[in-house]
Amino acid sequence: MSYTIKEDGKFRFIEEGQGETLMLLHGLFGALSNFKDLIEHFKQTHQVVVPMLPLLEMDLLHTSVGGLQKFLNKFIEHRNYNHIHLMGNSLGGHVALVHALKKPERIKSLILTGSSGLFENGMGDSYPRRGDKEYIRNKTALTFYNPAMATDELVDEVYEITNNRLKVIKIIALAKSAIRNNLGEELKNILLPTCLIWGKDDTITPPFVGEEFHKLIPNSELHFIDQCGHAPMMEVPAAFNAILETFLAKEKS
């Protein structure tokens, strides 16, 4: 399924369906394919918006979680979105958390899956290693419970990024920024209804991370999905969508 990527000023994004806004933030190696099943399901009931986060396009000084949050805020204000159900996976969850802390006015609820912000295992100390495709394949497979989810297409995308020296520098900058930007002390200030959806077999942000988010975010609920890794919306879309649908039904105005 292909979608029209809209352009408005410096912003590129997908916007499908009508209703309350469900905004999706991808992770460090995220692509539109990550959200395919989610978009198809929820565009029937919501306005699904996926901004293209400039992970590798910002200048090095602003290549950080904070820089991405500022970009997101400008996008939301420029497009005048309100009552947003803001969902983020991995690094996208971290950006969503920072945004909920700094600019909660336009946000109606928060959905986090495999989010960084407390603890995450990186892709490994030697990552990203250039020129070794099998290494990239094995590291990409760690994202999933089922290693077959690391398709040739997905591996090729990561391989292409890691073979560009400047992109590698920016990936490392973002990863280090995520580790430095620990939100443990601040999460008690998030008062938005929050849905945590976690893979029981996530090795990057393990289950205890979801439990800690649940403990620290006052108005949160936690759901685990068995036989599922770091990207539940990709690996088990039907189970993920069912949990999210129930949560959004409760938050409907």
Question: What pLDDT tens digit does each residue of the chain (253 aa) get?
Answer: 578 899 999 999 999 999 999 999 998 876 667 899 999 999 999 999 999 999 888 888 888 999 999 999 999 999 999 999 999 999 999 999 999 999 999 999 999 999 999 987 764 444 455 567 888 888 888 889 998 888 888 888 888 888 888 888 888 888 889 888 999 999 999 999 999 999 999 999 999 999 999 999 999 999 999 999 999 999 999 999 999 999 999 987 5
* Structural domain includes residue 19: yes
The domain that contains 25 carries what CATH number? 3.40.50.1820
Residue 132 in any domain: the answer is: no
- Domains in the chain, number: 1
Contacts of 121 (CB under 8 A, 6+ apart): 203, 204, 205, 206
Q: Which domain holds residue 11?
A: 6-121+183-250
**Is residue 70 one of the residues assigned to a domain?**
yes
Q: Is residue 164 part of a domain?
A: no
Does some domain include residue 154? no
Domain membership of residue 55 (yes or no) is yes
Q: Is the peptide bond before 232 cis (omega within 30 degrees of 0)?
A: no
Tell me whether residue 199 is in a domain. yes
Residue 138 domain-assigned? no
Q: 127: closest CA among 138, 111, 116?
A: 138
Q: What is the pTM of this model?
A: 0.93
